[in-house]
C-alpha cells in the first residue's frame, strides 16, 4: 500500500490558555507521522505535548520546541510552520527498522495527542495531518519520557533514578553547560566522554547536536536498532554528568519498548 496523506479531526479547543486534544481514528490505518500546522503561537508556547496510547502517555515533550530540537538532533527534515511527531524513525538503517515503531492501530483502543497552549499565545491555530500506511497491529513503539535533576552544586553529579527495562535509543540532557558525561551500569563504566568528543562522533554519524542547549548520548550511532542500550537485566544504572554550574537538568530519554 502506498503512503497516504490524510487530514485529521480538529483539536478540541484551540485558544490561548486552553488544554486541547486530538483523537486519532484507530482500528485501520498505521500512522507513520503526524504533521501539525501551527500559526499565531510559538513552539515554546505549545507545552506538555503528549501522545497517549489507550489513555497512557507514551511520548511526552515539555514543549513542541523540545520536540523540534530532538528532531533536529536526528537530522530529520523540517518546514517552518509545521512540527512533526514521528512514529517511524527515518534515520534507521533500513526500511524494516525505520517502520517497526509505526503506530499500527489494529490492536489499539484509543490513540490521542494532547497539549497545553500558553496564555501568552497571540492567536493560535492548529491543523493536523497524518501520513499513513497499510493496517497492522502496534508491536514496538518509541517511548519518550521526561525526568529532571536539580543539583545544588556544580561538578560531577550522580543520577540513579532513570527507569530501566526497555532498550534506550538516546538520552538528551537539556542544560547548556554540561562538559562531560559518564554512564555506569551495574558498577561498570561503559561511557565516558567530553561534550566536545561526543559531538564530534555524533556529527560523523550524521547527527546535528543542539550544542547550545543540550548534551546528547546516542547509542545507535550506526543507525542499527540492535545497538540500542539493553537495560532489561540491569540492577543499577547511573548517569554522571559534569555540570559547570548548579541548577536544573531536564532529561529526555528515548526508549524502544514493546506494546503490552
215 and 122 in one domain?
no
**How high is the pLDDT of residue 2?**
77
Residues 121 and 147 in one domain: no
Q: Does 106 lie in the same domain as 161?
A: no
Query: What would the pLDDT profile of 25-66 be if each residue is shown by its tens digit?
Result: 999 999 999 999 999 999 999 999 999 999 999 999 999 999
The pLDDT of residue 142: 98
Total-model pTM: 0.96
| Segments forming the whole domain that contains residue 227 | 143-258
* Claim to verify: residue 130 and residue 155 sit in the same structural domain: no
Q: How far is CA 199 from the centre of its chain?
A: 19
Can you list the residues of the chain whose pLDDT is less than 50? none
Residues 134 and 156 in one domain: no
Q: CA dihedral defined by 155, 158, 57, 119, rounded to 10 degrees? A: -30
Do 150 and 225 lie in one domain? The reply is yes
Give yes or no: residues 169 and 207 share one domain: yes
User: Among 92, 117, 138, which residue terminates a domain?
Assistant: 138
Distance (Å, whole) CA 133 – CA 215: 34
The order of strands in the sheet holding 237-243 is 155-156, 237-243, 178-185, 188-194
Q: Verify that 40 and 91 share a domain, yes or no.
A: yes
pLDDT of residue 40: 98
Check which CATH number belongs to the domain holding 185 and give it. 2.60.120.730
Residue where the block lists cell 486530538: 22
* In a shared domain, residues 66 and 150: no
Cross-strand pairs, 171: 217, 253
User: Is residue 199 helix, strand or coil?
Assistant: helix
Q: Which of 106, 123, 138 is the last residue of a domain?
A: 138
Structural domain ending residue among the three candidates 138, 170, 186: 138
130 with 150, same domain: the answer is no
Do residue 112 and residue 168 come from a single domain?
no
Do 242 and 180 lie in one domain? The reply is: yes
- Total domain count, the chain: 2
Amino acid at each position: 500500500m502506498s503512503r497516504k496523506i490524510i487530514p485529521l479531526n480538529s483539536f478540541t479547543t484551540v485558544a490561548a490558555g486552553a488544554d486541547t486534544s486530538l483523537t486519532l481514528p484507530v482500528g485501520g490505518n498505521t500512522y507513520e507521522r503526524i504533521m501539525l500546522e501551527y500559526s499565531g503561537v510559538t513552539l515554546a508556547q505549545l507545552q506538555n505535548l503528549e501522545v497517549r496510547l489507550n489513555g497512557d502517555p507514551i511520548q511526552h515533550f515539555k514543549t513542541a520546541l523540545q520536540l523540534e530540537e530532538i528532531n533536529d538532533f536526528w537530522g530529520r527534515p523540517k518546514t517552518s510552520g509545521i512540527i512533526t511527531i514521528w512514529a517511524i524513525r527515518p534515520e534507521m538503517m533500513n526500511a524494516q527498522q525505520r517502520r517497526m515503531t509505526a503506530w499500527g492501530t489494529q490492536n489499539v483502543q484509543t490513540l490521542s495527542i494532547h497539549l497545553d497552549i500558553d496564555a501568552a499565545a497571540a492567536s493560535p491555530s492548529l491543523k493536523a495531518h497524518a501520513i499513513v500506511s497499510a493496517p497492522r497491529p502496534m508491536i514496538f513503539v518509541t517511548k519518550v519520557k521526561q525526568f529532571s535533576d536539580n543539583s545544588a552544586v556544580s561538578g560531577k553529579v550522580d543520577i540513579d533514578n532513570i527507569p530501566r527495562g526497555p532498550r534506550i535509543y538516546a538520552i538528551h540532557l537539556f542544560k547548556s553547560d554540561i562538559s562531560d558525561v559518564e554512564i555506569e551500569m551495574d558498577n561498570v563504566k561503559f561511557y565516558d566522554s567530553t561534550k566536545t568528543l561526543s559531538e564530534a562522533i555524533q556529527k560523523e554519524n550524521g547527527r546535528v547536536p543542539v550544542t547550545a542547549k543540550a548534551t546528547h548520548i546516542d547509542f545507535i550511532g550506526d543507525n542499527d536498532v540492535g545497538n540500542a542500550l539493553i537495560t532489561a537485566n540491569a540492577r543499577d544504572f547511573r548517569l554522571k554528568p559534569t555540570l559547570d554550574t548548579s541548577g536544573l537538568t531536564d532529561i529526555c530519554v528515548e526508549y524502544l519498548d514493546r506494546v503490552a
